[in-house]
Amino acid sequence: MKKEYSRRQIKKIFIAILVVFVIFISAWRIDREFFHPYIANFNDEIRSDVTSLKFTVPKDKENCEKIGGVWKKMGPRPQEECNIPTKDSGKDCLSSNVCEGVCLAELSPEDLRKGMKGKLFKTNGKCSDFIKVMGCRAYVYQGWAQVVCAD
């Protein structure tokens, strides 16, 4: 005894499958957006973004000061070097590629500690005041901030 389905029954089955599929996709999107967002591994890209300069920095005090730079000892290095103020300081950014310097996020001290343990944060940032930034800061790359310590 072979059971035959009418067109109406086939249409109902198709609609039911379609509704289940739409519900499944909607639930998956809600889960990915709010509960388990995709966090890409941007370690190499962020480190490259942080350590590369976009233009040549003068190597002597006279040329540094001519272009409005600050000549001083930076970080643990024994020698003085030039740091140039940026023209886009404070501008909103999602990555350093839109800044003269780097894109930095403001994190609370608690979040900064979590970031030093490897946590990433979905956030926007602001362009840095200078092209070189020292210390442990939250660098933003494609809307994700990671804490990197640069000396």
Name the pTM for this structure. 0.66
State the Cα–Cα distance between residues 126 and 129, nearest whole angstrom: 9
pLDDT tens, the chain, 151 aa long:
567 778 888 899 999 999 999 998 888 887 767 665 555 566 666 656 655 667 788 899 999 999 999 999 988 878 899 999 999 999 999 988 889 899 999 999 999 999 888 888 889 999 999 988 888 899 998 888 889 888 7
DSSP label of 98: G
Whether the CB-CB separation of 83 and 72 falls below 8 Å is answered with yes
Torsion sign over Cα 105, 54, 98, 81: positive
Provide the pLDDT for residue 42: 61
Q: Where are the domains of the chain?
A: 1-38, 43-150
| φ, ψ of residue 122 in degrees (nearest 5) | -80, 110
Q: Looking at residue 90, what is its pLDDT?
A: 95
Whole-number pLDDT of residue 37: 57
